[in-house]
Amino acid sequence: MLSSKSFAIGEKELDAAAAATGSTFASADAAYIEKLRAGDADAFDKLVVRYSGDIYALLFRLTGDPEEAADLVQETFLRALKAIGRFRGDADLKTWLYRIAINESRNRFRWWKRRRREKTVSLDEPLGNTASVYEDVLADSSASPEDEALRREREIILQKALRELPAIYREPVVLFDIEGLSYDEICKSLDLNPGTLKSRLARGRQELKRKLASY
């Protein structure tokens, strides 16, 4: 039986983990994957500890909602637990988990959409530590309170602009420009061919820059 600590991910741990968005780990070896498939509790706990920060950071970028992202992290690992027996190893574990997380995010969006939930984002809402390749949007970290306030404001603007992108464009931009995944990893995560991915990424960047220009 799997221990409950696998899903006891508190806000403090998630906030700290979100700061490590760019962290990567080596692909699990065959023995470890076999332990996961066999339902080994320690192996699954290790999986949660290893990847929960990356999954939370991804889901926060996709949803813009810290509570929603944290909830979806739990759903992602519960789904992974149920599906691990079918994991074939044709992608590394992180890419596989990203695909599950994205699907959970899409399902949640459709669920809310059917109920016509309207969501707003407060510009004063605290955000986790973030990173982006858009140097004209995000300033470098600085000890200056004025610079830090400006950097934070730009992070909030970027997050708001990302939320306004259609999911088919937001997902490639987040995965490539923020999460740093390769084309191959993103194609596997989103189930896209390279041509479609490049097209959506280019369109997403174009739309994002257009939205940022209006702020």
Residue at which a domain ends, from 67, 96, 118? 118
Query: Over 50: is that where the pLDDT of 17 sits?
Result: no
Q: For 52-61, how does the pLDDT look when each residue is reduced to its tens digit (9 = 90+)?
A: 999 999 999 9
What's the distance, CA 12 to chain centroid?
A: 17
Q: Say yes or no: 5 and 95 in one domain.
A: yes
Whether 125 is covered by a domain: the verdict is no
How many DSSP H helices and E strands does the chain contain? 9, 0
Q: 81: domain range?
A: 1-118
Cα separation, 138 vs 149, whole angstroms: 11
Query: Over 50: is that where the pLDDT of 29 sits?
Result: yes
Q: What is the CATH number of the domain that holds 18?
A: 1.10.1740.10
Q: Say yes or no: 140 and 198 in one domain.
A: yes
Question: DSSP 3-state assignment of 26?
Answer: coil
State the chain's mean pLDDT as an integer. Answer: 75
Which pTM value belongs to this model? 0.65
pLDDT attached to residue 214? 79
Whether 124 is covered by a domain: the verdict is no
Q: For 97-118, how does the pLDDT look when each residue is reduced to its tens digit (9 = 90+)?
A: 999 999 999 988 664 444 444 4
Answer yes or no: are the C-beta atoms of 139 and 154 closer than 8 Å.
yes
Query: Over 50: is that where the pLDDT of 154 sits?
Result: yes
